[in-house]
Amino acid sequence: MKLILKRSVLPGFKGAMALTLLYLSLMVFLPVSAVLIKTSQLGWQGFFAVLTDERVVASLKLSFGASLLGASLNAVFGTILAWVLVRYSFPLKSVVDAMVDLPFALPTAVAGIALTTIYAPNGIVGAWFAQYDIKIAFTPLGIAIALSFIGLPFVVRSVQPILEDLETEYEEAAASLGASRLQSFTKVVWPALIPGLLTGFALAFARAVGEYGSVIFIAGNVPFVSEIAPLLIITRLEQYDYAGATAIATIMLSISFVLLLLINGLQHWSLKRHGGVA
């Protein structure tokens, strides 16, 4: 009778797991723990005082609201851009495809200065809108545009591989059965895109919430109007209020974790509903 030995799929599993846990501890667990420990110095009363501070609440609303708006815009236009790059051929297509990754390569401060120059009242685009009394730079709208700029690659690069793997024969089969273009997209393409789209949306949102460099120049930084939460954290640090700064960071971390948990739950539900592997 032969003995069947169960072997790990990956050789050296124990060593690899130990290195993984060590790396996660150094990169994630310890920094987060340090933030929580520093925040605990305030006590519940001090933490609640920071949580209910009107200036903090206003900055958190702006940061999360602009991040959700930017990620939502990217979910729409990023999907359209990925569709064009995959399904159509046109001159300089490779250049357009490479430009999608520009926000990854461009320093955030440079991106912020460039966006401010373009959308300022005397800028190329801002001057046109100024004729209609629409101000973009130094307003929450400018912040949303900056966050859309830095989050676009996440959606495009999450959706693009799915479209490349999705054969056009499925759409042609749906069309041969009498389905319209809209029905082919909603019944064939859309279900396959949802998991990747949610992933891109979550990544774009997570990046936008903590973004500082590309936003600080175009925001205007007016309290209760265009002051983002990361700037408020920097302000507290400059005032040597380390516990207050970490308290704001803890609030942002908690809200972000809950929102990302909900997004991951939707992604898991979508995969399960459409027969994917969660």
Are 10 and 16 spatial neighbours (Cβ–Cβ below 8 Å)?
Answer: yes
Q: In whole angstroms, what separates CA 171 from the centre of its chain?
A: 30
pLDDT score of 69: 95
How does pLDDT run across 87-112, given as a tens digit for each residue? 889 898 999 999 999 998 888 889 99
Are 262 and 70 spatial neighbours (Cβ–Cβ below 8 Å)?
Answer: no
Helix 242-273 × helix 43-51 angle, to 10°: 70
Tokens 């972000």: give the residue: 256
The two tokens of residue 118 are 């373009």
pLDDT score of 278: 39
Q: Is residue 28's pLDDT more than 90? A: no
Distance CA 234, CA 31 (A): 17
Q: Is residue 240's pLDDT more than 70? A: yes
Domains and CATH numbers, the chain: 35-273 (1.10.3720.10)
Buried b (16+ CB within 10 A) or exposed e, 119-150: bbeebeebeebbeeeeebbbbbbbbbbbbbbb
Buried b (16+ CB within 10 A) or exposed e, 32-56: eeebeebbeebeeeebeebeebeeb
Q: Is residue 1's pLDDT more than 50? A: no
Are 228 and 143 spatial neighbours (Cβ–Cβ below 8 Å)?
Answer: yes
Q: Which residue has the higher pLDDT, 12 or 98?
A: 98
Q: Is residue 243's pLDDT more than 60? A: yes
Distance CA 207, CA 253 (A): 12
